[in-house]
Structure 1
Amino acid sequence: MIRVFITDDHEMYLEGISLLLQKQEKVEVTGSSLSAKDLLNRLPELSPDDVLLLDVNLPDMEEEELIRRIRAIRPMQRVIYLTLMRGTRYVHKLMKYRIQGYILKNATVEELVTAIETVGAGKNYFSREIDILHEGDFRNTLTIEDRKVDEILSKREIEVLKLVCREFSNAEIAQKLFLSVSTIETHRKNLIAKLGVQNTVGLVKFALRNNLID
């Protein structure tokens, strides 16, 4: 059984999703909270293996502050975020805290259960419906720290990353690698999306942290 604790400030949604999950053979709903503060108070009671289902927008605490506090108490707690928005604003901010899942609230019960089972098994699940994933499927590549770089990035992406870090323009990189400028632009976008960073500075920091550049 995979144990799940749900936090959402909308009581009707919270009750509805709890009832749906309680009907699943492999899922046990261990409890729920209507606020971030209540979740934090109850977190020490939960098992590190429990999966937290969290609403991105809780009125009593910013999403980054909440996940930061969760990680301070339980660095390895498994977390799936639920959202109504398809954009990338929140997922980009939350990736650096090693969240394990991010799906839309209008996902099917089947997809939600799949996400819970995937995260419960120690893997990551990110909905294909989130705009950030249109650049490619990297649902299981977001926990950068415990994975080898070459399991996350292709050889070509690593080549492009190194050249970006050396401050070559897209046109210069295209010329060096005998590719089109548009292809390099796509590689750059994919790198930013896969690594969960905001810009070139973030790419450089990742490359330094993983000894890809001096």
Structure 2
Amino acid sequence: MKPKLTIFGEPMLYTEGLSKLLTQSSLFNTVDLCNSYETLEENLQGKPPEFLMISSNMLMLTDLLKNVEKITAQNKTIKIIVIGNSYDIMDIRKLFNKGIKSYLDKDSRYDEFLKSVQALLSNEIYICDYAKEKMINFLNTDEKKQKLHIQDPLTKREMEILKLICDGLSSKDICEKLFISINTVETHRKRILLKLNVKNSVGVVKYAIANHIID
């Protein structure tokens, strides 16, 4: 049996047009429109829809988060699609934590909405391409920051030893090259591992390559 869809959004010109389009697509059994939270609450009573689409222009983000949590607590099987307003990655993550199953952005195309519906019908989640791109950029930026960030910077001597480790020199080779005791070399090694948060020389080399200390 085809699922029911409720659209909570405005303006009515937009929602009515979308409703007619979706009815013609034969994806849903019925498509109901709600343009106030009171009518939405009435719609969710009794036999709630399987799908609920919420437009971000209906609620402030804080209210949206609260109401998504409330709706999903009362209706465990409901699948919520949020049409966001260029939300950042952390806010999108909060929405999923509260219980939404799909995030589309205001500029998402109709074909993405259809992909979203198909994903939800298969009990999967869906994130639009726009949000995915933002997520990838966020992760890449965060990864770069982690690579470059050291709470306790390496000293000039530790940097010198790091480069020699990357050249494949043993502690004995390093102590002979720098004219220092092997115990001093081992102490520097331990500090380098600790500062870079790596476990061995392989980790040291990976760090050096990632941060262009060596080619």
Residue 57 of structure 1 contacts residue 63 of structure 1 at CA under 8 Å; is this kept in 2? no
Corresponding residue number in structure 1 for 2:175: none
Change (3 A) 1:173 1:40: farther
Larger radius of gyration: 2
Higher relative contact order (CA 8 A, sep 6+): 1
Change (3 A) 1:86 1:63: closer
SS of the equivalent of 1:122 reads coil
SS of the equivalent of 1:91 reads helix
Change (3 A) 1:12 1:172: same
User: What's the CA shift for 1:64?
Assistant: 1.2
Gaps of 5+ in 1: 137-167, 184-214
Gaps of 5+ in 2: 139-192, 211-215
SS of the equivalent of 1:18 reads helix
In structure 2, C-alpha distance between the alignment counterparts of 1:127 and 1:98, rounded to whole Å: 17
- Structure whose residues are more often helix by fraction: 2
Residue 22 of structure 2 contacts residue 31 of structure 2 at CA under 8 Å; is this kept in 1? no
SS of the equivalent of 2:197 reads helix
User: What's the CA shift for 1:93?
Assistant: 1.9
| RMSD (Å) for aligned C-alpha atoms | 3.3
Corresponding residue number in structure 2 for 1:62: 63
Change (3 A) 1:20 1:30: closer
Corresponding residue number in structure 1 for 2:100: 99
Residue 170 of structure 1 contacts residue 181 of structure 1 at CA under 8 Å; is this kept in 2? no
**Runs in 1 of length 4+ with deviation above 4 angstroms?**
173-177
Corresponding residue number in structure 2 for 1:171: 196
Change (3 A) 1:123 1:10: same
Change (3 A) 1:174 1:111: farther
Residue 174 of structure 1 contacts residue 181 of structure 1 at CA under 8 Å; is this kept in 2? no
Matches within 5 A, 1:18-167: 18-47=19-48, 50-59=50-59, 62-85=63-86, 87-130=88-131, 131-134=133-136
User: What's the CA shift for 1:171?
Assistant: 2.8
User: What's the CA shift for 1:35?
Assistant: 2.2
- Residue type matched to 2:117 in 1? I
Number of matched residues? Answer: 153
In structure 2, C-alpha distance between the alignment counterparts of 1:172 and 1:28, rounded to whole Å: 56
User: What's the CA shift for 1:45?
Assistant: 3.1
User: What's the CA shift for 1:70?
Assistant: 0.1
- Residue type matched to 1:180 in 2? Y
Residue 51 of structure 1 contacts residue 77 of structure 1 at CA under 8 Å; is this kept in 2? yes
SS of the equivalent of 1:27 reads coil
Residue 89 of structure 2 contacts residue 135 of structure 2 at CA under 8 Å; is this kept in 1? no
TM-score by length of 2: 0.59
- After superposition, the C-alpha distances for 1:20-62 in whole angstroms (9 at most, x for unaligned) are 21221323343111123321232123446x1111112324881
Change (3 A) 1:39 1:172: same
In structure 2, C-alpha distance between the alignment counterparts of 1:8 and 1:170, rounded to whole Å: 52
- Identity in percent: 15
SS of the equivalent of 1:99 reads coil
Change (3 A) 1:170 1:116: farther
In structure 2, C-alpha distance between the alignment counterparts of 1:182 and 1:132, rounded to whole Å: 26
